[in-house]
Chains A and B, each alone.
Chain A
Amino acid sequence: MTLNENLFRSIVEAAPIGILIQTKGKIEYINDLFLRWLDADAKTIREQAFLSIVHPVDRNRVNQEIESADEFGRELPTTVKLLTASGETLTVDLTLRLLRGSAPDGRDYVIICAINTEGRIAEERAMNSLREGIVALVTRELRDPVQIILMHSHLLLRFIAAGVNVGPASSIYGIQKSAIRIGQISGDMLDTFMLQLKKVPLHKEPINLSLAIAGAVERLRLQENFGPIQIHVEGDIPMLNMDPVRLEQIILNLLRNAFQRNPEQKGIEARIRLSGMGILISISDNSDPIPAEQASRIFDLGTQLKAHRFDFGLYIAKGLIEVHGGKIWLEPGTDKGNVFHVWLPTNP
């Protein structure tokens, strides 16, 4: 190795860009940064062609670009899907700098530089990991209600085969409850993805908050058998300009959360009052204080995923409140239990 080659290597190793050199169809050199992006080790990757780490959907196009590279090189800004060693697909913005030339040893080289992609890759990887976590949790969560439907259907068929015209009502009720649960799980998954992508469609219109709460309570009663709810409205509450379906969903998720914390069905309380330029809704769960370490991360999706819990209700409620310009916070351990406060602007 000559002094010049050493100098060259130290420069490219420190460069904030991914650098890959291909000779006669095989990767001859790849710098550490590019390796990190691909989650690969240098030895394995050097046995491959650059095109083998390009996703098949982009392979022909990138191959044509490489083939058309001339002696003087040119910059090719493009978006390319790459395959990492673990099989992930990463869509990244690359600037390929292609140079076809002859080195002193007489071989042809293609130099590929990937510029300013690390942040995007990290974001993409985090999103992929989140999606995988959600899909895995949802898939698992769906299995119990599907199993219940299968078992009740089997029971009903047994009754029909035995000449009994009406099967047990508990089977029909069980199928209905499981179907509702499946709908709720798939809806929560979709909402979680939409919130992650910041693409929640909203259809705002003037809406009466009391009607939204009444609607949420009615839906909750249809789905589950919960304890009493006391609703206190202080003063004249103006109309809100919100998506009515989403407002009902926010209330429903908060009420369900309060009841789930209160298995003895001691009854929960919702208090509505004016606060500044908006309305404050405070829902008290009348149950034991939420420990401080849980309280600080209660709206966090990552915490739920790490704990393998499919309980995205509070995360979704927070996301929907924020897209309407509002905010939510928790006041744990009051004399009325844990209080979830929601502030919504009257004119968002």
Chain B
Amino acid sequence: MAAILVVEDDPALLEVAVMLLRLNDYIVTGAQNGEAALRHMQANTPDLVITDIEMPILDGPGLIRRMPVQNKALTTVPVILLSGLSELREIARKVGTPYYLSKPYDIDALLRLIKKAMSEKTPPNPSQRKVG
């Protein structure tokens, strides 16, 4: 079973996202900001990170920038960005991830994107700025 780390500052949204993904047979951990996510990843390397963009303490792009600095193993982890920001595509381009979904999104679309990210395994790469 694949391990997913979900990073979302809205506790109600985090709770239901974790529940939903667990029902879909993923091993899921939740974190309420980028710092908490990094703490979890000190000892754990998830197969996928799903993160919101705007969060207190450390935001989504900040988390993505610090992942490879913290742990070399995290350089291969794909990241899905989820956000209601109109600049989502531009932010995804900047951090170099091809995986993003605009809130509110269809749950099946998220599940399909998770499968795509898991099979392609393309990690964020700010120098490669093409997004799908």
Contact = CB atoms under 8 A, between A and B. Distances in A.
Nearest to B106: A150
Nearest to A162: B23
Contact of B12 (A148, A150, A158): A148
Give the dominant DSSP class at A's interface: helix
A174 interface: yes
Contact of A144 (B15, B19, B84, B86): B84
Contacts of A147: 13, 103-105
A144 B20 contact: no
Contact-residue size bin, chain A (C-beta under 8 Å from the other chain)? 20 to 34
Contacts of A178: 12
Contacts of B58: none
Contacts of B106: 150
A166 B15 CA distance: 19
A221 interface: no
A143 B16 contact: no
A272 B105 CA distance: 47
B13 A148 contact: yes
Given A147-B104, A174-B12, A155 B20 contact: yes
Interface of B: 10, 12-13, 15-17, 19-20, 23, 84-86, 103-107
Nearest to A173: B12
A150 B12 CA distance: 12
Top-7 shortest CB links A-B: A143-B84, A143-B103, A146-B104, A151-B16, A147-B104, A154-B107, A140-B84
Contacts of A168: 19
Contacts of B20: 151, 154-155
A31 interface: no
16 contacts: A139-B84, A140-B85, A143-B84, A147-B13, A147-B105, A148-B10, A148-B12, A150-B104, A150-B105, A150-B107, A151-B13, A154-B20, A154-B107, A170-B15, A174-B12, A174-B15
A158 B23 contact: yes
Interface centre among A140, A148, A150, A151 (most CB of B within 10 A): A151
A143 B106 CA distance: 12
A257 interface: no
Contacts of B107: 150-151, 154
A140 B52 CA distance: 13
B112 to A, nearest CB: 14
A147 B50 CA distance: 15
A147 B10 CA distance: 11
A133 to B, nearest CB: 13
Nearest to B10: A144
A154 B17 CA distance: 11
A140 B88 CA distance: 12
Nearest to B84: A143
A168 B18 CA distance: 14
Contacts of B85: 140
Contacts of B10: 144, 148
